[in-house]
Amino acid sequence: EPEVTQTPSHQVTQMGQEVILRCVPISNHLYFYWYRQILGQKVEFLVSFYNNEISEKSEIFDDQFSVERPDGSNFTLKIRSTKLEDSAMYFCASSPQTNQPQHFGDGTRLSIL
């Protein structure tokens, strides 16, 4: 069964450094999403992406965050200057259409030192 894949599974970065989290969505899906889950808290929506542009974003997704689909398969989340509070699990998801269920990857655990 097709699945969303995320790399790396764990990323350790010094505070202030840039980090790029990578995702390969399911191949025939058109909508892409990033969520995060801080330890012990709920999964929170960050951003949705369709047709090479952001379609929705949350208050969390400030100027330090950006997303890109650099080629036909990858979908990336960049954090420009990481802070301690960016430490979390980051999940990528994709869906075929906007009103269809989202399928999640296994996440990248981001640890900021």
Partner 1 sequence: TQLLEQSPQFLSIQEGENLTVYCNSSSVFSSLQWYRQEPGEGPVLLVTVVTGGEVKKLKRLTFQFGDARKDSSLHITAAQTGDTGLYLCAGVFSGSARQLTFGSGTQLTVLP
Is 99 a binding residue for partner 1 by CB under 8 A? The answer is yes
Among residues 26, 48, 75, 94, the one that binds partner 1 under rule CB under 8 A: 48
Q: Using CB under 8 A, pick the residue from 33, 36, 65, 110 that binds partner 1.
A: 33
**Which of 86, 84, 66 has the alpha carbon at shortest distance from 76?**
66
Residue 45 CB, shortest distance to partner 1, in Å, is 4
In whole angstroms, give the CA distance from residue 98 to residue 108: 24
CB nearer to partner 1: give 31 or 65.
Answer: 31
Instruction: Rule CB under 8 A: say whether 96 interacts with partner 1.
Output: no
Q: Which among 23, 93, 35 is positioned nearest to 60, based on CA atoms?
A: 35
Instruction: Establish how many alpha carbons lie within 13 A of residue 96's alpha carbon, considering only the half-sphere containing its beta carbon.
Output: 4
